[in-house]
Structure 1
């Protein structure tokens, strides 16, 4: 074989590996970003060796592109309506990017249990789930107005990511929750700011005063109502109040039931294969149930709400509890999941008011009486149980039984 022929053969054999080793440049990143942002004028807002952030020059929307070798996916995060302003982004997001910046060669092939693009899985039929939450709360005023003060320095403590995540889920379900608190909130001596004030059982929850956000809200009653909710769920979860307030989402799950009679289940990612874990999350979202989600990284941790899904990119929607900043679609895998808080990932899921009906099968099993109103997925339904439905043929939609509409989420 002639030398020239040998060289051509080597190129044919090694071509894919050669291409994979080439640097992923800015033009490549812009091209990838157009799949989500369109062909409008784009700019690179952040350009690091391992990743870059592309956003629209005018308007909102940004994409985080993974530039590392061997990365399984190139888009590891995106926000359709966010604007990248690094000094306003949640620490969970900026800390994650700092870790990626230090890891220029992605080791996804080693760490991921199962292929996140398993084309043979049931995920092929998944559809988009638009974000369930409408609120964009954060940890400062008015949300932390009732939180304790650090004694040495007279500094107001943060509300805490666990409290904000749980409070936003409570707000989502507010129409079906008790009108008053069910137990005295506890007091306890630990943390940088001990909890000394208790809110008594029977205190009105004032759901009607709560707002999606408080950026332009001057109504003091509305501000007081959300401060009370955040304090009730935070102290009932036994948060450690400090300049960076911390706690466990499992404790928040217990508090949801104790104070608001909301049932839930707890799950730890280490007990699931990757696709199984994503199925668990997706099924909850299809039932209309937002999920409280947490993870750790290098001794730090964060809690968010997962409330939506992008089927095209196989990404879940995160509400960071940072006033809307950073909210967008990200992964929950073992490498880039939870925005880098990918250790000890867990969730409190199937959160709903006690006795809430999520499907018609449950309704029929409970043998609800005729001509009585009950909520199904947020809609009051008057049902006549004397009719018959082919349970094994039900799909999401609207069904009629003896003249009564039945809504399936």
Structure 2
């Protein structure tokens, strides 16, 4: 039976998506159909012990058998765990006769889905725009901790020697320097001589680099006062061997004294990959990230096209460069640091309130588990429905306290019992009222006094349940008002099985559970007796809560004429591999095909080899162990002969926009009809000519299904020998991305050789990826207003391009334009009670002064105004560049009067604004509000006519009488008729 389980575990297709979420049964069935001719979901009557036995709102797994024979597929019900978790072309899934090892395997998959779902409160900021393709370093400074940075730091009271600024203070100062913020020194700082006497920061006198000398006293004092102020307000403890200051006090200083909004993120408490994505987004927004890791504070301030993050270490430029944040380390850190900066990484996102950077909105204060141990129970078997189960929960803290007005969290902790449909049935182990006064407060709940007493409830009945750590906040002590019980951030789920009154818990074994997702992908072929590096990508899934660090051990075993041959791959590039928690991590295995070691000479011969993988979990663990990672039997690594002619290496794929510039982002909004042009860099080796001429093509592979979604035509290319060359001009190919479905795609480059297409890349980087998405439309928009000039009864005015059917706010009128008479723009009011049509442009007015109009999405029940012939055009979700065909006019001021003013070609219009489209030579057009009292008065004054005697509706039609309730213009005045006239 073990062999049967092995065949399931290793046949897995990778799913690495940027944005995960639930997978319903129809989506799962479509994926299953790629492996089974006629997939059929397991019947609801077949209750499976590993998971939710009946069909529920949120299943953890989708299981399919082949209706026409053997074979089955296991698919995760959440993209964040994986798509196809396993499949086989032999056997069937039968809940009634499922062997225990298979139940255990499926239970692990099910728990993995539960784990990624339990963190229901997002702690990462939301960003309106996708990340850029790359961000050059945002910080120009290369500062350090000694003179002149410590110009004003206190001297030792014993030796009189100057003290260091401290790495924490230097990192925070460099972030502020990048923003040149604030202008004024905060309240509460020390005043003294030189720059200490100023009430402002002398940013212009601060240099990027002081390490070469040649600076004057003013320049030394300018940077010194910034460092000293930060140190005082963050309560640094100064010393001649090093200065200490924790990041929590820096957070408080930046928020309370430096007028910044701040958000904190901890890498080890987030699902793998989420932290790095947040870093990319933050840097794309122009904000360097303050970091702590190991025993040091530093700054992330950029990243390259391959996803490596640029680090400013705060040592005057020493070792600054691009790093994988999972293994960020240097050989010898400055000032006695140990160099292991990947440990316990914590980020502060810092946004100055300077009117340029968008402030970070506060997140709710919630309880979190500040370690990976989570909720544990002392026993797992031998219990009944009336047992008391001792429980343990350590390191419970409160998040986001610094952004909360109350400054503390007062509440309770408990253990929630959840049914299969996600309802909380009961809360066990309610603690007394506790208070978390700072981020550093934490509580431990121990086995000897805390637990879940099942006798508190009647039952539970036979079935599957889930136990989760919960917290709730005391909102009003005087009135005993409480918030709802909510799941803790970084909380976990423990499955509880009840059968015949007996209770069994399925708990994590606290070990990494690593498996290979899909087959190994050969990036750079292996050549016998070659100095050229071979490269293989492994997608390693880690379904546990624990990040796993250690050494990868690879053995190649010969087949065919090489039977009995083995090759221990040199581990020079595999000493520190990281499998991120609860996700799939791509590893690159790169190695030489010959080397000399302590056991002699070793070399790979031409032929085919099986691969054996072992993971030595020996870094950041108290229980080191070696785990085998199974590899599919049918994967064979082919080693080409040494005389293999015409080796091609593709070093990168360039992504260009329609103007030939580098694409600003590798995320493409399909609603914008995007196109992308591809080009490569690369070289050839082992040829006699200067160029290797062949055909090439591009392929886009859907990373979810593993299928090729797009293949370009093949065309001739000449690849230079030995030297990497940018070949974009000769390998340019444009793709209309609207032909593809939303999703994540990997770009492959195929080279033709002897009538066969061969996939070629390199051993140093992962393949280039792109993400296609449909933009999620907003449900509310804030429209900035202008102060109206000389418009009667109008104080605030704005244009609005509606991205959705929008409600006209109370006290605001919406207008559209059907005609223009000379230089008079005739604005017509929307009917009362009607919504603004999505995609339409309107003018909004209010008789009172206000800074913004809050526009909300209209309910489906509200009628939408038909704006046929409207001459106002909406700027929707992107910044619109005015062309000569737009004939655009915007709201402006001319001679102290609000008017429509002509816009220059090339001007950029903000999203969700509107412009008037009218072909005219006039520089200014006047407002005329048709149907409005003010508008009629103005038109009459302009044309020197009398007020009309008739009765008019707001739509301009004349009526014989105001016989129905509504708004009318009667003798030139607006009147509301509430009753029918008799």
Q: TM-score, normalised by structure 2?
A: 0.24
Partner of 1:388: 801
Secondary structure at 2:257 match in 1: helix
Shift of 1:136: 0.9
Which of 179, 186, 194 aligns to 1:182? It is: 186
Which of 252, 265, 279 aligns to 2:263? It is: 265
Change beyond 3 A, Cα 1:151–1:303: same
Contact 1:209-1:221 at 8 Å conserved across structures? yes
- Equivalents in 2 of 1:371, 1:213: separation in Å? 46
Secondary structure at 1:266 match in 2: strand
Contact 2:196-2:225 at 8 Å conserved across structures? no
Alignment of structure 1 residues 41-56 onto 2, 5 Å: none
- Equivalents in 1 of 2:147, 2:258: separation in Å? 23
Change beyond 3 A, Cα 1:269–1:180: same
Change beyond 3 A, Cα 1:211–1:336: closer
Partner of 1:172: 178
Matched, 1:324 2:317: yes
Partner of 2:221: 224
- Equivalents in 1 of 2:190, 2:291: separation in Å? 24
Secondary structure at 2:349 match in 1: strand
- Equivalents in 2 of 1:366, 1:155: separation in Å? 55
Change beyond 3 A, Cα 1:148–1:130: same
- Equivalents in 2 of 1:208, 1:407: separation in Å? 32
Partner of 1:294: 292
Shift of 1:183: 1.6
Contact 1:131-1:308 at 8 Å conserved across structures? yes
Contact 2:186-2:257 at 8 Å conserved across structures? yes
Contact 1:149-1:155 at 8 Å conserved across structures? yes
- Equivalents in 2 of 1:231, 1:398: separation in Å? 45
Change beyond 3 A, Cα 1:336–1:212: closer
Secondary structure at 1:260 match in 2: coil
Matched, 1:346 2:346: yes
Secondary structure at 1:183 match in 2: coil
Shift of 1:269: 1.4
- Equivalents in 2 of 1:367, 1:393: separation in Å? 13
Partner of 1:236: 233
Pick 1 or 2: higher relative contact order, CA cutoff 8 A, min separation 6. 1
Shift of 1:370: 3.3
Change beyond 3 A, Cα 1:273–1:182: same
* Contiguous gaps of at least 5 residues in structure 1: 1-112, 115-123, 188-195, 373-383
Superposed CA RMSD? 3.8
Secondary structure at 2:290 match in 1: strand
- Equivalents in 1 of 2:190, 2:910: separation in Å? 40
Contact 2:260-2:350 at 8 Å conserved across structures? no
Alignment of structure 1 residues 279-318 onto 2, 5 Å: 279-296=277-294, 301-312=295-306, 314-318=307-311
Deviations 1:219-252 (A, max 9, x none): 2112111100011112211111112112112221
- Equivalents in 2 of 1:306, 1:163: separation in Å? 15
Change beyond 3 A, Cα 1:406–1:240: farther
Shift of 1:286: 0.9
Deviations 1:43-86 (A, max 9, x none): xxxxxxxxxxxxxxxxxxxxxxxxxxxxxxxxxxxxxxxxxxxx
Partner of 2:784: 368
Contact 1:182-1:202 at 8 Å conserved across structures? no
Deviations 1:319-355 (A, max 9, x none): 011111111011222x556952233210101433265
Shift of 1:308: 0.6
Secondary structure at 2:245 match in 1: coil
Change beyond 3 A, Cα 1:186–1:146: closer
Partner of 2:75: none
Contact 2:132-2:284 at 8 Å conserved across structures? no
Shift of 1:162: 0.7
Secondary structure at 1:386 match in 2: strand
Deviations 1:90-133 (A, max 9, x none): xxxxxxxxxxxxxxxxxxxxxxx99xxxxxxxxx9962211111
Structure with bigger helix share is 1
Shift of 1:167: 0.5
Matched, 1:150 2:156: yes
Matched, 1:203 2:199: yes
Partner of 1:405: 908
Secondary structure at 2:310 match in 1: strand
- Equivalents in 2 of 1:311, 1:136: separation in Å? 23
- Equivalents in 2 of 1:337, 1:277: separation in Å? 18
